[in-house]
Amino acid sequence: MIPRGYSSAEKAEYEVWWAKNQDMLVTHFTAYRNRQQSKRDQGATVLDGPDQWIPRNKRAELRGIIARDAKCAYCERTPNEGGGYLEIEHFLPKETYPDKVFELDNLLPACKQCNTCKGAVTNRGGSEILNPYWEETLQAHLLMSLEDVRLSGISDLGKTTVAKLGGSLNVAKSLTRTGDGNGGNVFEEIRGALFQRQKIKKQVTRDLESYRHINQPGALKDILCNLLSRVSPSEPMTATWSSLLTQNTVFLNLVQKLRDLDAGAGEKVVELLEEKSFYSLCPRGDQKGMGHS
Ligand SMILES: [Zn+2]
């Protein structure tokens, strides 16, 4: 489970607004939905913009609150890592659950790619795919291979999630068609979530290799703590950093070296390691694929 980016005070204030205006807002949204439907029924190809369901004066504020999360709920990329700007995604679809159209916990930040893949998921009667903010332990559902950093599902919910979102979660690069402004086609390369995970794996492997010969306990402790600080739920790619660091043989050997050099400092790092392992999607003891020493 990952925590939301907004504070509880912010949420409380939002909920007061939502409770006060719920009837009006649901009516507003339902009218928008019906308008779209009748346009579709009449064969219209141009519909109202997707943002029309948000009252204009509330749009920026709502975006501001959702943007506190700063990363895509599904692939954990930030917009500048190829995910484009973050969109507001309704976990329970607004078409089926108009009463949840503005419910804060139902509004997830999602990158364009994940939101597009997620689009068709109905989530009728609850959840068809994982909601990273709901599940206590994502490790029960998803597995990250340390060999090729691909994600796979291990529970039914995890399997459906990877099946539905795999087009975003397990893609390294894709081409998207953009216009050249003159009616011609231009293809732009999009770096996927898998590309980002591969990049982190390379970086972790290279960095750890360069730390192998460090024998000064103070320096070693700083390095290990600094690496573990990358595993932060408020930062991008938390699960990847945790999986690649906390199960890594070279990393664990460095922790052992520190314990031998300075037991006190070693224990501090072990405590931190335990805490950061929570976000790993790789089972303990599975250290294949990382450089053995
Ligand atoms: Zn995403």
What is the chain's mean pLDDT, rounded?
85
83 CA from centroid of ligand 1 (Å)? 6
Q: Determine the average pLDDT of the residues in 55-73.
A: 79
pLDDT of amino acid 261: 97
119 CA from centroid of ligand 1 (Å)? 12
66 CA from centroid of ligand 1 (Å)? 14
28 CA from centroid of ligand 1 (Å)? 29
Q: pTM of the entire structure?
A: 0.84
Q: Is the pLDDT of residue 291 over 60?
A: no
Q: CA gyration radius for the chain?
A: 22
Q: Determine the average pLDDT of the residues in 157-165.
A: 92
112 CA from centroid of ligand 1 (Å)? 7
111 CA from centroid of ligand 1 (Å)? 4
98 CA from centroid of ligand 1 (Å)? 24
86 CA from centroid of ligand 1 (Å)? 8
- Name the residue ranges covered by the structural domains of the chain: 8-191, 212-279
40 CA from centroid of ligand 1 (Å)? 29
pLDDT of amino acid 292: 38
212 CA from centroid of ligand 1 (Å)? 34
165 CA from centroid of ligand 1 (Å)? 9
56 CA from centroid of ligand 1 (Å)? 26
Q: Determine the average pLDDT of the residues in 93-100.
A: 84
71 CA from centroid of ligand 1 (Å)? 8
75 CA from centroid of ligand 1 (Å)? 4
167 CA from centroid of ligand 1 (Å)? 10
The label of the residue with tokens 């339902």 reads 30
Bridge pairing between strands 151-153 and 142-144: antiparallel
Reported confidence tier of residue 203, pLDDT bands at 50, 70, 90: very high
Reported confidence tier of residue 281, pLDDT bands at 50, 70, 90: very high
85 CA from centroid of ligand 1 (Å)? 10
For the chain, first and last CA: distance in Å?
A: 33
pLDDT of amino acid 123: 65
73 CA from centroid of ligand 1 (Å)? 7
109 CA from centroid of ligand 1 (Å)? 9
Q: Is the pLDDT of residue 287 over 50?
A: no
116 CA from centroid of ligand 1 (Å)? 9
Among 204, 121, 188, which residue's Cα sits nearest to residue 157? 121
Alpha helices in the chain (DSSP H): 8-41, 56-66, 112-118, 156-169, 193-211, 217-228, 238-246, 249-261, 263-277
Q: Is the pLDDT of residue 268 over 90?
A: yes
Among 171, 186, 177, 8, which residue's Cα sits nearest to residue 77? 171
More confident position, 159 or 58: 159
**Separation CA 147–CA 133 (nearest Å):** 27
**Separation CA 293–CA 286 (nearest Å):** 15
Q: Is the pLDDT of residue 85 over 80?
A: no
79 CA from centroid of ligand 1 (Å)? 9
